[in-house]
A and B are shown apart, each in its own frame.
Chain A
Amino acid sequence: MESDIVEHTGSRTTRLLGASVFVGLVALVLLGFFVAPPDDDQLDAVRMIFIHVPSAIFTYVAFVTTAIGSVMWLLRRSIWWDTVAGAAAEIGVLFCGLTLFTGSVWGRPTWNTYWDWGDVRLVTTLILFLMMIGYLSVRSLGGSVEATATRAAVVGVLGAALLPIINRSVEWWENNTLHQKSSLTDGKLEGMTLFTLFVGIVVWGLFFAWSLIHRFRISWLERELRTTDLDQALRDRRAEGHRV
């Protein structure tokens, strides 16, 4: 039986998104390194904000997407939403890793340390990162598609429950963190620094959309292939039975 061969997961939309990400990244590098001014206190180290903050924002967006997809699976058994949840989690792990890495690199010149194990913001973010790696591991566990998706959905919702705790940790446990409060929501940024950060957020948003669409399509095709594989195997078995 002939089957449609999918050569790639691109479309006009994703190509446009991809090109926008590329142009945006070039603009971000130029703005971040050559236009935005150094900070009074942190000097050039402040430029890490243009990567760190967008990564943190889209970590939140990705894991909220995973949580929504997980809830939709639990409520409606929607394979489409389960696939979205898995795709968003993979991208979220990437962004969360980037947030931890850039925060650590930024911490060395500003805080005088890469990491502090007692810091509530840092450690809760690491817990989120590990939980979402756990989520991806659970998705890879054996068993029926239904059971795997349900187990993963529970972990996905639990992981997202950490987000408000992480977000408010700098307010709730002020004496337990080196991390500053939010500059963006408190209006502590302006001029080219604010503009460049805004560009960073837009570029990361486009990249999130681009990678989510591609990853979703790949996951969907993998699922289709597994189903096709199974159907073909059943047909072959039946054919063997007829021959005997």
Chain B
Amino acid sequence: MTDTLSPRAPRTGRRGSRRWLPAIIAVGVLAAVVVLVLNLFTGALFFYNVDEAIEQRSDLGDDRFTLQGIPIECSITKGTIGDEVVTAFSVSFGGAIVDVVHRGDPAELFKGGVSVVLDGAWVEGDPGVAGFDGLANDGWYYSSDRMRVKHDEDYINEDEYDSRLAESRSQSQIASEVCGT
């Protein structure tokens, strides 16, 4: 290990690629940060809550947008449109309800009461799914082809905490009203 303390030979490769590697990484990182920030402010995931989507239905037209709402348990229906298997359900948020027809597999955690974020567009007309009577039933439905789940921050299991049940009841009040349960 005496070599480490010996005078070093003058470096001949000062302009070699090794010297520039950190600079290249730093510039690459800066470029990546700029791209990510720009991507962020284009609002790729920006979603409309159910009440907002209804309010802006005429502006949205048939453009694709992202919708967030809470599925109403009693409305969830598996059905078909032609040969395609679909999941039809109604979602609520902010006191409003939208009927949804989702093509493709629903998310693993998809169930009533757990918020979903959907990609799709407004379609005027009847969903046309046998056995599904939309709870909104307003002549429009939301046709979706991508589903993500937006679970809340609550990790308190119902059997552990009685007041959680009361909170859950109040949250699903709208579902009880429309489902008559």
- Measured CB to CB, the residues of A under 8 A from B are 3, 37, 39-42, 46, 49, 109-113, 116-120, 123-124, 126-127, 130-131, 133-134, 137-138, 140-142, 175-178, 180-183, 186, 188-191, 193, 225, 228-229, 232-233, 236-237
Contacts and interface: CB of A to CB of B under 8 A. Distances in A.
Contact of A123 (B39, B48, B110, B158): B39
B148 interface: yes
17 contacts: A41-B111, A42-B151, A109-B109, A111-B148, A111-B150, A116-B148, A118-B46, A137-B22, A175-B47, A175-B48, A175-B68, A181-B153, A188-B153, A188-B154, A190-B161, A232-B5, A233-B7
Contacts of B109: 41-42, 109-110, 112
Contacts of B49: 175
A140 B22 contact: yes
A217 to B, nearest CB: 18
Contacts of B25: 133-134, 137
Contacts of A39: 155, 157
Pick from A37, A41, A117 the residue with the most CB of B within 10 Å: A41
Interface of B: 4-8, 19, 21-23, 25-26, 29-30, 32-33, 36-37, 39-40, 42-49, 68, 107-111, 114, 117, 147-158, 160-161
A146 B45 CA distance: 43
B153 A182 contact: yes
A178 B45 contact: yes
Contacts of B153: 180-183, 186, 188
B30 A134 contact: yes
Nearest to A181: B153
B132 to A, nearest CB: 22
B37 to A, nearest CB: 7
Contacts of A127: 33, 36-37
A183 B152 CA distance: 9
Nearest to B160: A191
A176 B29 contact: no
Contacts of A46: 155
A178 B40 CA distance: 14
Given A112-B147, A126-B36, 13 more contacts: A42-B109, A49-B155, A110-B108, A111-B107, A111-B149, A111-B150, A127-B37, A140-B22, A175-B68, A176-B45, A177-B45, A178-B150, A188-B154
Nearest to A142: B19
* A46, A124, A134: most-surrounded residue (chain B CB, <10 A): A134
Contacts of B45: 116-120, 176-178
B39 A117 contact: yes
Contacts of A119: 45
A113 B154 CA distance: 20
Contact of B23 (A116, A118, A141, A193): A141
